[in-house]
Chain A
């Protein structure tokens, strides 16, 4: 067996390898093959030349992004929003998972889980429409209520300062159910004997959560947060675009790299410029994840991703 080397190994592990194939294929097709498109960032795109035949133009495509004065603002917005989403969403998801785990009554648990999960299935386009009907100045639900009780209406769509709160809230609402399932699975995986022992020793429910559940969740939390950090420079386009649209007044608080790129591509129709910004995002994301992983390794080698 040994003498047949690699082929022998392949035959021996055929089942596992076959199971691995779809994932490998997926990443090859959708992550590695399109990577060749990076060359567009350094090209002056035209239809006749296409992706590979268009003439090179060095770092020219990057100039617009950094000279625009928008680079810092959109990068900052993207990172800050994502940090807020990671913290708020994870804390809420963990809390929801613990509550669901501790909740008594099978029906109550099932129903509340379903209700939490529901928003995950609503498309951002619909969420955007719902938000418009809630917040618009003239006929929005919010202002109708406010004026009915004699308060001043608020002009949500022209006041950028409200938007960080709205966006964080909407994101939490939408991802709560989905995220809590993962944590719930992790909690269910915790050894039941530990809880029984703690109960016999007289630990109350808060002590059990604080001393057993949360410490045991740490590996899951670290992995999920590390994965999220890799995407910290990618804004959730569907969310920002459908919630804000092309409302220029809100951009200072709501424009993320992805919406900025989208506008540049569609209103000026320049593929090279957009590819350049995508490249910039990837490099930043790559650096952050290396850094975060390094920090985790320092703290605890076993919990690092690689």
Chain B
């Protein structure tokens, strides 16, 4: 008995020690192990595989894990089941996607990389941590060999400039989407309410102010304008239109208030908060806020603005042209009695062409299935059948094909939409047959005003100034957002406070660093 007991005890102690040791051990070993793996991986991949017939070995079936942003579509299993049949046929691979919901993807996305979770393809974009993750080593470098060996279709279809634009520090980390568009924003308004109150057409900042003020004064229970200001975005959601487009400026990075003029070939950087244009804009916002154009609690708002608009609780909001056009089509389909319109507040200004990094797919740095992942991306983007499945779902269920390049929505459309499959955008994209003609008209008018400039492809590397970037970001959230939503009584003092805080946070150092990088970039052109 006594012996048995002490044996049990010994066993327990051994168990305890092994768990503790293995916990320590794995922690110590894993990371250095990974580091050598990641640095070597692309090189070995590149040299080993194409040695044969230039194509990777596909005899073994693999499962590719994808990280996508957005809510999981209702018919995910159905569509991906069908998609996997095709992918298995063509690349002997199947995909399985994980979805990071829109509500908290900004928090989860970096953690997936930090925890080195097991996934192969990640959706990425210039607005979704692309350069940040690339610099931190989250993505695998896509060498020319890798691309040549595994992506024949993309190589043929993608313009060289798209590849060039998606390089970070001269290295390729992304398969960009292949779909030139303009990223400028427009405002979606309630045309029926505008007509009801006999307002002139909304096509300038002034007429927009007139519209929202009238709605706010006369329509009870409706927010004239709404935004989701509490999600960590550091700007007023009209800033892109009223600050950037209106003044023909371009912000280098949305995490800091530094911009240059589009037509300034020397790329001189300035602090936008310290300009008379900004002060005028804040005064404009203040006037709207004082007239109850938006809720006093707008910075605590956590609702989806488009859903609010559909429910008739919001009378305007700002988004990219493509999104508002889709909203418009959706509303026409679901509530034909509500009339919406797209308002372009800056019709005559220069437009910036979307750079290719607006959407794309990257390979996780520690993925062991890089070649096959690239093949899958190649097919998603360029194989008509697979592209249609991935982008629009199953024909007849989720969409109705109209010719080769259009589709019309069906009752099943909402069951397969709303996530970032845009990385596979390509000239094969179908257009919504119900796509509003006015959006098309605006888009083609914008295309004619597209302005190309050298700094388009510039990417800021913040490694030397991350303290300043963090502090400036905090100042923007704390001082700029309340100021822009008209919550600070004294505009004059608010702007002065904001700039004083920015100075303390090191905006000058940030500006100097950025300017030197831009100068070097322009000199190398």
- 15 A-B pairs with CB atoms under 8 Å apart are A18-B9, A21-B16, A50-B31, A50-B32, A63-B467, A68-B505, A136-B300, A155-B296, A158-B297, A246-B232, A249-B299, A260-B474, A266-B106, A266-B107, A270-B466
* In the complex, A190 has a CB within 8 A of chain B: no
List 7 A-B pairs, minimum CB-CB distance, nearest first. A50-B31, A64-B467, A48-B137, A248-B478, A47-B137, A137-B296, A249-B482
Interface of B toward A, CB cutoff 8 Å: 5-6, 9, 12, 16, 19-20, 23-24, 27-28, 30-32, 34-35, 38-39, 106-107, 110, 113-114, 116, 129, 132, 135-138, 230-232, 234, 255, 295-297, 299-300, 302, 365, 463, 466-471, 473-474, 477-482, 487, 501, 504-506
Minimum Cβ distance to chain A for residue B236 (Å): 12
* In the complex, A29 has a CB within 8 A of chain B: yes
* In the complex, A201 has a CB within 8 A of chain B: no
**B504 neighbours in A (Cβ, 8 Å):** 67-69
B300 & A132 in contact (Cβ 8 Å cutoff): yes
Q: A48-B38, A245-B300 are in contact. Are A28 and B20 (CB under 8 A)?
A: yes
* In the complex, A103 has a CB within 8 A of chain B: no
* In the complex, A267 has a CB within 8 A of chain B: yes
**B300 neighbours in A (Cβ, 8 Å):** 132, 136, 157, 245, 247
CA distance in complex: A276, B474 (Å): 17
Minimum Cβ distance to chain B for residue A8 (Å): 11
CA distance in complex: A291, B38 (Å): 47
CA distance in complex: A11, B6 (Å): 7
**A158 neighbours in B (Cβ, 8 Å):** 296-297, 482, 487
CA distance in complex: A70, B38 (Å): 38
B23 & A33 in contact (Cβ 8 Å cutoff): yes
B470 & A268 in contact (Cβ 8 Å cutoff): yes
B31 & A246 in contact (Cβ 8 Å cutoff): no
A69 & B466 in contact (Cβ 8 Å cutoff): no
CA distance in complex: A28, B505 (Å): 39
* In the complex, A60 has a CB within 8 A of chain B: yes
* In the complex, A58 has a CB within 8 A of chain B: no
Minimum Cβ distance to chain A for residue B53 (Å): 32
CA distance in complex: A245, B228 (Å): 13
Q: Which of B19, B34, B468 contacts A25 (CB 8 A)?
A: B19
B487 & A249 in contact (Cβ 8 Å cutoff): yes
* In the complex, A112 has a CB within 8 A of chain B: no
**A101 neighbours in B (Cβ, 8 Å):** none
Q: Which of A44, A157, A264 contacts B474 (CB 8 A)?
A: A264
B297 & A136 in contact (Cβ 8 Å cutoff): yes
CA distance in complex: A139, B116 (Å): 44
A47 & B113 in contact (Cβ 8 Å cutoff): yes
B471 & A48 in contact (Cβ 8 Å cutoff): no
* In the complex, A81 has a CB within 8 A of chain B: no
Q: Which of B20, B34, B470, B473 contacts A48 (CB 8 A)?
A: B34
Within 8 A of B (CB), among A2-53: 11, 14, 18, 21, 25, 28-29, 33, 36, 44-53
B114 & A46 in contact (Cβ 8 Å cutoff): no
**A138 neighbours in B (Cβ, 8 Å):** 295-297
* In the complex, A226 has a CB within 8 A of chain B: no
* In the complex, A269 has a CB within 8 A of chain B: yes
* In the complex, A94 has a CB within 8 A of chain B: no
Chain A CB within 10 A, most for which of B107, B466, B505:
B466
B23 & A271 in contact (Cβ 8 Å cutoff): no
B32 & A53 in contact (Cβ 8 Å cutoff): yes
B24 & A33 in contact (Cβ 8 Å cutoff): yes
Minimum Cβ distance to chain A for residue B99 (Å): 19
A269 & B129 in contact (Cβ 8 Å cutoff): yes
CA distance in complex: A136, B300 (Å): 9
**B473 neighbours in A (Cβ, 8 Å):** 263-264, 267-268
* In the complex, A251 has a CB within 8 A of chain B: yes
Q: A36-B27, A267-B232 are in contact. Are A46 and B136 (CB under 8 A)?
A: yes
Minimum Cβ distance to chain A for residue B326 (Å): 28
Within 8 A of B (CB), among A236-277: 245-249, 251-252, 260, 263-264, 266-271, 273
**B38 neighbours in A (Cβ, 8 Å):** 47-48
CA distance in complex: A132, B481 (Å): 19
Q: Which of A11, A25, A51, A264 contacts B470 (CB 8 A)?
A: A264
**A36 neighbours in B (Cβ, 8 Å):** 27
Q: Which of B19, B28, B32, B138 contacts A47 (CB 8 A)?
A: B138
Given contacts A47-B116, A138-B295, A266-B107, 18 further A-B contacts (CB under 8 A): A18-B9, A33-B23, A45-B136, A67-B506, A68-B470, A68-B471, A138-B296, A157-B300, A158-B296, A158-B482, A245-B230, A251-B477, A260-B474, A263-B473, A267-B106, A267-B234, A267-B255, A273-B466
